[in-house]
Amino acid sequence: MSVPREGHIVRRYDGELSHLHYLVLEMGALALTQVKDARDALCDRDLTLAQRVIAREKDVDACELRADSEIVQLIALRTPVGSDLRLVFAVSKSITDLERVGDEAARIANLGLQLLGSEGADPNPVLLHDIASMGALAVGQLENALRVVDRWDRNLAEDLLEAHEELDFEFQAAFRRLVTFIMQDPRNIGFAVNIVLIIKAFERIGEHAQNLAEYVLYQIAGRDIRHRVEP
């Protein structure tokens, strides 16, 4: 792991910037674990694992608070400019996105408890198929985004951004399948609503992964490509 920048006369400053980078990776690892466990809890019908995901949400929040505190302290003491300021900005935005990833993981776990923890009949296994596929895509994109942050890899970041439509396409296809199930048997509507909310949460996780790649490109190139308009 290395942050591409010139060294400073005050070596402690370099260490402080590197530590911010480390905090993003530490929080990213925790957020990724949360998403994986939330997905596995649903796919394996493991209610205990879902409860652990919900309980660990406070750990993600604590990481955000610690990172925010260090960012404020560094800005106050060092007054970063140029590429250093872009790095601090990218770290701050990344921390926010990772906290929201943690929120989505906890939301998935809560919805899983509602879906699988009721005393009524379990949902048809076919209905759960899209949770597994959407979960796999979201986990894959988040893993790639964290590799981008770790390696500061411009090519990997651009590849990840080019794949931004994959999750949206899968979500739309899953939604159409769920509508079909409801039309075939209206008793599926309760299950289908929760499943739609779950797969939408996975789609949002993919969007946050895309944001992480955008922040790295901003740090490297100094160009903000958020909300870009295609020619």
pLDDT per position as a tens digit, 56-110:
999 999 999 999 999 999 999 888 888 888 889 999 999 999 999 999 999 999 9
Alpha helices in 117-225 (DSSP H): 129-151, 154-162, 165-184, 189-221
pLDDT per position as a tens digit, 104-126:
999 999 999 998 876 656 777 77
pLDDT at position 1 is 45
**DSSP tag of 10:** S
Residues 124, 188: Cα–Cα separation, whole Å: 8
Q: What is the CA radius of gyration of the chain?
A: 20
pLDDT at position 182 is 78
Q: In this structure, which CATH number among 3.30.70.260, 3.40.190.10, 1.10.3720.10, 1.20.58.220 belongs to the domain 11-221?
A: 1.20.58.220
Both tokens of 50, joined, read: 């879902």
Q: Can you give the residue ranges of every domain in the chain? A: 11-221
Residues 103, 38: Cα–Cα separation, whole Å: 11
Which amino acid makes up residue 214?
Answer: E
